[in-house]
Amino acid sequence: MMLCNDVLLLMMVPKDRIASITYLAHDAVEALLPGADTGVAVNHGTAEEILLQKPDLILAGTDSAPMARKLAKAVGARVVEVEAAHSFADIRRIVRQVGEAVGEPGRAHVLLAEMDGNLAWLASHQPARPLRVVAWSGSQAVPGRGTLTNEIIAASGADNIAARLLDNRYGSFGLEALLAAWPDAILQGETRWSGPSLQDAQSMHPLIERYWHGRRIAYPDAAYACGLPQSADAAIALRNLYRELPAGRLRW
């Protein structure tokens, strides 16, 4: 009943063990696990669907937990509430939690071993001079301390300037603050589900185009919203894109 849980579930168990996944999961699955949801039934979170599908276990997010508990009583299912991930430590906890819930602790171990191997490689190949970056798409809020986006940026070897803000998690960051901070590159979230790329991500203020042309990295928003083992892959993808940025410090 939650996109992030369902992507993880598809990595854990064969399709014939899955009663249904949320209809919202398809785009994410197509990007991360192409074809993995083919033939898997979907649900829209309705009582009628759950009553017909009669699952033994319902994986719910924090927001969907109240409804899930009501539905579980009707079909005799067990409910496992999975919180959102804001760090790689959270991802480890969640993957183990879901692995235990579905009877696949070994599979959870394999997924985490691959993730931790990627993180170890990144840590052992730190850049001599970390880039100063910020995830900024023209809005006032930017992800700082306590967000998965910040964890991915840190793992990639860059310095997230929004992590220094006093605000918790998402701080205010207008155009003036961006110009004052003067990052080496701007990460811009998009709704598409392809990999990160160097491109003119979206229409921005003329000053952004003037000073950060060729220094904007587009990344899929949703890929940074779900705490999955692939979050380490996202950090590696960013590291590779840093090498394509123009050499030298950004100058006026």
Per 3-state DSSP, what percentage of the chain is helix, strand, and coil (rounded to 5)?
45, 15, 40
pLDDT in tens, 163-178: 988 766 787 788 888 8
Q: For the chain, state the CA radius of gyration.
A: 20
Query: What residues form DSSP beta bridges with 59?
Result: 80
Q: Which residue has the higher pLDDT, 166 or 118?
A: 118
Query: What residues form DSSP beta bridges with 189?
Result: 219
Give the count of alpha carbons within 13 A of 25, CB side only. Answer: 27
Pairing of strands 159-160, 132-135: parallel
Model-level pTM greater than 0.85?
Answer: yes
Give the pLDDT of residue 238: 93
> What is the chain's length?
252
Pairing of strands 132-135, 185-190: parallel
What is the 8-class DSSP label of residue 26?
H
Q: Are 171 and 162 in contact (CB under 8 A)?
A: yes
pLDDT in tens, 22-59: 999 988 888 788 899 999 999 998 888 888 999 999 99
Nearest to 232 by CA among 20, 12, 32, 22: 32
Q: Is 22 exposed, middle or buried (0-12, 13-18, 19+ CB in 10 A)?
A: buried
pLDDT at 194 over 60: no
pLDDT in tens, 228-243: 999 999 999 999 999 8
Give the pLDDT of residue 62: 84
- Complete domains list, the chain, with CATH: 3-104 (3.40.50.1980), 132-242 (3.40.50.1980)
